[in-house]
A and B are shown apart, each in its own frame.
Chain A
């Protein structure tokens, strides 16, 4: 354990004093501020005439205001936090010749990578928690609604899931910083992979689904074909951590949602019952619905870190 704490502390202070952190934090704080403000303004309108609104406080996070909700924002741009914190973790030390110095101290070699990863996770945690708190405080001010205990729990679960999600990207960028000697290469590689996994996978899923079981332009669609199309789209889409994360956090922050599936082939009776009985799921049930996605998200995060750990431990370090 010794050495780990030393590295952790150094990395944490590096993160907090670096310009890139300050810039990123300002940017993200600003955007979440604006989105929650938009949501707050929107909220008043949409709640007008509703007899007994539930979970109003959470709507600050899940209502798309002008452009997107706070939630979507974290799903889209949260990865950037992870990438920025990690893309030069190891190769910068290598380039500056400090890595060899570090590992020739009497510490276990894994203290270096564990310390760096944990410092990144700590930074992410502090960042997300403070943003959620700022938005919450802001919301108290605008909307004037006090969150109930369940809403606080929901936000807590949401934070934990988000931390894992962003930590996945942190682990990925650390992996690139181990594999690529050049800082520019690892930065580009992580951004390229982020764009690919976040944006192109869902696009590709659609193309693939439409190729395998085309639904457009057909007259008599059998439900089977439609189902198959949707299934392919969903399964391929799960390769994108963003989709995984959106699914994992969906019912947590939006208790009115009862499933992560997009509703297709809904019968008139079901539609009626869905709209008539607009009751929120209890927290336990909400977690149950997203449980597989949460586990998958945590698993990919850990696997990603495990790979970087192994690569780092087996690499010979000469500089």
Chain B
């Protein structure tokens, strides 16, 4: 693939006191890709995402987002990247439209334009009928979809999704994954998806990276990783088998 690199890191490192959270991380994500970002809890995935966004300063190494340095051009990077944090929060006393309008406001999107986009996005994430309901009354699935709408309002080039399907029922998770897939295919948005649900990751990711104890132990297409670990064979390996294999080795 000779695509343009949207995310690229070189020796990205983050240390807290003596503990190394992210250890010389090198990986890249190409334009139009869905990159599955895997790893156990505490592997440093969220820390990496924060550094890529410019919210946390790397101890060493560099990151590039669309050629920009997140530490220096944090605002430019945040204009391009939509970040959906794990367990994203909402203002419970606002309704869906007000929540989106606030985010649009923060992105300096004009009133009229914002109104159009809000309608469009509510349609896209399927919250049209609940548009005027207070977010406090939303179910988890609805909140997560509202979260997606909030990151889409700035028409990002890249999406960072941190555990977007966590705690969703199977149907809700499926709908969310379909939504992410359609965003990627129809709008060409590059997605960096961190998740523990390997089955879902396998369904939509073009490539995956496995991060364990701050190190990226493997990255590549699922088939490629399978070949690397299990050799050539007719058998199709699931991502789960591959992941467990890597996990046991470390």
The chain A residues found within 8 Å of chain B, CB to CB, are 2-3, 6-7, 9-10, 17, 93, 96-108, 316-319
Chain B contact residue count (CB 8 A cutoff): 27
When distances are taken between beta carbons in the complex, the residues of chain B under 8 Å from A10 are 102, 105
Whether A98 lies near B55 (C-beta < 8 A) is no
- A97–B88 touching, CB < 8 Å: yes
Please give, as numbers and ranges, the residues of chain B lying within 8 Å of A7 by CB-CB distance. Answer: 106
B114-129 CB contact bits vs A (8 Å, 1 = yes)? 0000000000000000
* Given A106-B78, A316-B56, A319-B85; A98-B108 close (CB under 8 Å): no
Tell me if B166 counts as interface (CB < 8 A to partner A).
Answer: no
Q: Which residues in B have their C-beta under 8 angstroms from that of A104?
A: 53, 55, 78, 81, 83, 85
Extra pairs beyond A17-B93, A105-B103, A106-B108 (17, CB < 8 Å)? A6-B105, A10-B102, A96-B90, A96-B92, A97-B88, A98-B91, A101-B89, A101-B150, A103-B55, A104-B81, A105-B78, A105-B107, A106-B79, A106-B106, A107-B75, A108-B75, A318-B46
CB proximity of A14 to chain B, nearest CB, Å = 8
Please judge, given known A-B contacts A7-B106, A104-B83, A105-B78, whether A96 and B91 are in contact too, CB under 8 Å: yes
The 4 residue pairs across chains A and B that have the minimum distance between CB atoms: A97-B89, A6-B105, A96-B89, A106-B79
Q: Does B228 contact A (CB under 8 A)?
A: no
Confirm or deny: B26 has a beta carbon within 8 angstroms of a beta carbon on chain A. Answer: no
Q: A101-B88, A319-B85 are in contact. Are A9 and B105 (CB under 8 A)?
A: yes
Question: How far apart are the CA atoms of A7 and B91 in the complex, in Å?
Answer: 13
A98, B89: Cβ atoms closer than 8 Å:
yes
**Known contacts A96-B91, A105-B78; is-contact A3 B108 (Cβ 8 Å):** yes
What are 9 A-to-B residue pairs whose CB atoms are below 8 Å? A7-B106, A97-B87, A100-B85, A101-B150, A102-B106, A106-B106, A106-B154, A107-B75, A317-B55
Cβ of A6 and Cβ of B85 under 8 Å apart? no
A105–B89 alpha-carbon span in the complex (Å): 14
- The residue on A at minimum CB distance from B75 is A106
A307 CA to B202 CA, complexed, in Å: 48
Q: Is the CB–CB distance between B85 and A106 below 8 Å? A: no
Complex alpha-carbon distance, A187 and B87, angstroms = 25
Q: List chain B residues, Cβ under 8 A from A103.
A: 55
Q: Specify the chain B residue showing the minimal Cβ separation from A99.
A: B89
Bound complex: CA A107 to CA B53 (Å): 12
Q: How far is the CB of A177 from chain B (nearest CB, A)?
A: 16
User: Which residues of A lie under 8 Å from residue B93 when comparing CB positions?
Assistant: 17
Per the 8 Å Cβ criterion, residues 44-98 of B in contact with A are: 46, 50, 53, 55-56, 75-76, 78-79, 81, 83, 85, 87-93
Contact residues in B for A98 (Cβ distance below 8 Å): 89-91
Q: Which residues of chain A have C-beta atoms less than 8 A from B79's C-beta? A: 106
Compute how far the CA of A189 lies from the CA of B150 in the bound complex, rounded to whole angstroms: 35
> Is B106 in contact with A105, judged by CB distance below 8 angstroms?
yes
Q: Is the CB of A106 within 8 A of B46?
A: no
The interface residues of chain A lying within 8 Å CB-to-CB of B105 are 6, 9-10
Give Cα A318 to B85, complex, Å. Answer: 9
Please name the residue on chain A nearest to B57 by beta carbon: A316
